[in-house]
Structure 1
Amino acid sequence: MPKVIFYARVSTNEQTLAHQQTQAEKAGYVFDQVLADHGVSGVSTKMKDRPEGRRLFDMLREGDTLVVRWVDRLGRDYRDVTQTIRELMERGVIIRTIINSMVFDGSARDPMTMAVRDALISFMAASAQAQAESLKAAQLAGIEHAKANAADRTKAYRGRKPSFTRKTLARVVEMLAANAGVTAIAKETGLTRQTIMRIRADPAAADQNLKEWGL
């Protein structure tokens, strides 16, 4: 007896299996079996390289109906999606999508109907790949933005880069211990009076500032 099988690829919290299955059931489907690949990248893993994807190919028979949320569930890119759909249609499997209620049926024999169907498959697969590439680009941009923000936060945490070296700091501390005046220290070290007074007020903080900047 022909079966109705739901397949889902679940890679993010926003695409939970329960959410995808609920959408399908609201569309009127009743499933004999539900398969899902969890934590699998849609843009790097071929359909047949996914554990449940392989199982799906082994399971589907002529007359069965495969239901997916959208064609992007069926492959990692244009070529993979179109190959998956065409191979399953050649077996006599009917593929239905929840989004836009698309139907891909290999039983059509009229040349015009077949041409329209094949063109539609190509268009939908290309759209799925474009969407995946756009998402990947957005994710990469987000990662780079986060890295830049992290670097900015680290720099802000370290404060202003010291105008003195560790050797200069040691000399300032030494002269302060000898009761040298701020003006005399500034003249010898080339530091501003304000810098010397900050060092005098908290030499440990000055030393820590050098450490934070790796100096």
Structure 2
Amino acid sequence: MRTSTREYGYARVSTKNQNEDRQLSVLREQGIPEEFIFVDKISGKNFVRPEYQLLKRVLREGDTLFVKSINRFGRNKQEILKEWQWLMDAKIHVVVIDIPILDTRKYQEMDGINQLIMDLVLQLLSWLAEEERNDIKQAQAEGIAEARKKGKHLGRPQINLQTLTPGQRGILDANYSRWQSNELSGVDFMRELELKKNTFYKVMKEYENKAR
């Protein structure tokens, strides 16, 4: 069992549209060793945080945990406050780098007004973090609805005869008759065109219809 306290850092990012570099940079500026920084990369649908759970098992009374912002603890007010309470019960110091008032080291010897101020700020910021996430989700939903209204395709670009590259079209023109006569197998033709099976046959059908 170790006898000295340690400082840890935690970062959480979405795998789709965020990069942890900024969070890591801020944590490193606090002098936290690389081996004591835990990072989770999660998707919007999956909020499993293996690194955070490991960190909670590693933390000991008197340790200090640094995070860049309060929403690293959860996606909504309830999750944030739950994790904060767990850390307080475990007697872990917490430093929210973006919000200097949320540095529990300042209040370890204090009761009363300063502690009350921090609790109020925590409640407010947790609510704001939840509202911000809800606003982002609403904006995304409205953007998707507007795009669909305008007939825009969402998701991966559709591949069809018209969207083939000049190189793909050249391969198609040069080898279509060979494929038709079984001189070239469908598997080899797909490989040369770099198309998946369903897309390949869709393109072949469009090519045949155009040739009629």
So what's the TM-score if we normalise by structure 1?
A: 0.60
Q: Deviations over 1:28-47 (max 9, x none)?
A: 33235111111233x973xx
Q: Any residues of structure 2 matched to 1:105-116 within 5 Å, and which?
A: 105=105, 107-116=108-117
State how 1:55-66 maps to structure 2 within 5 Å.
55-66=54-65
- The reply on whether 1:34 has 2:34 as its aligned counterpart is no
Q: Using the alignment, how far apart are the partners of 1:44 and 1:140 within structure 2?
A: 19
| AA matched with 1:90 | D
- Corresponding residue number in structure 1 for 2:130: 129
What is the CA RMSD across the aligned residues, in angstroms?
Answer: 2.8
Identity between Structure 1 and Structure 2 (%): 24
Offset from partner CA, 1:124-174 (integer Å, 9 cap, x none): 11111111111111111122222223359xxxxxxxxxxxxxxxxxxxxxx
1:117 is matched with 118
Stretches of structure 2 that go unaligned for 5 or more consecutive residues are 154-212
8 Å CA contact retained: 1:5, 1:66: yes
State the structure with more CA Rg: 1
1:1-215 equivalent positions in 2, closer than 5 A:
1-12=4-15, 15-26=18-29, 28-31=30-33, 32-41=35-44, 45=47, 49-101=48-100, 102-105=102-105, 107-151=108-152
CA contact (8 A) 1:40 1:50 kept: no
Query: Residues 76 and 108 from structure 1, CA distance in 2 versus in 1: closer, same or farther, beyond 3 angstroms?
Result: farther
Q: Which is richer in helix?
A: 1
Q: Distance in 2 between matches of 1:52 and 1:115?
A: 31
Calculate the TM-score normalised by the size of structure 2: 0.61
Please report how far the alpha carbon of residue 98 of structure 1 lies from its aligned counterpart in structure 2 after TM superposition: 2.3
Deviation digits for residues 39-71 of structure 1 (CA, Å, limit 9, x no counterpart): 233x973xxx42122212212111111111100
Question: Using the alignment, how far apart are the partners of 2:17 and 2:24 within structure 1?
Answer: 13
Give secondary structure in 2 for the equivalent of 1:99. coil
How many residues in Structure 1 have an aligned counterpart in Structure 2? 150
Is the 8 Å Cα contact of residues 108 and 114 (structure 1) preserved in structure 2?
Answer: no
Distance 1:59 1:39 in 2: 21
1:120 and 1:66 map into 2 onto residues whose CA distance is 18
1:49-108 deviation per Cα after TM superposition (whole angstroms, max 9, x unaligned):
421222122121111111111000101210110111121012111111221333134735
Higher mean C-alpha deviation, range 5-14 or range 99-108: 99-108
Flag the 1:51–1:67 CA change in 2: closer, same or farther, 3 A.
same
Give yes or no for contact 1:7–1:34 (8 Å, CA) kept in 2: yes
Structure 1 pair 40/107, CA: closer, same or farther in 2 (3 Å)? farther
The gaps in structure 1 that reach 5 residues or longer are 153-215
Contact 2:42/2:49, CA 8 A, preserved across alignment: no
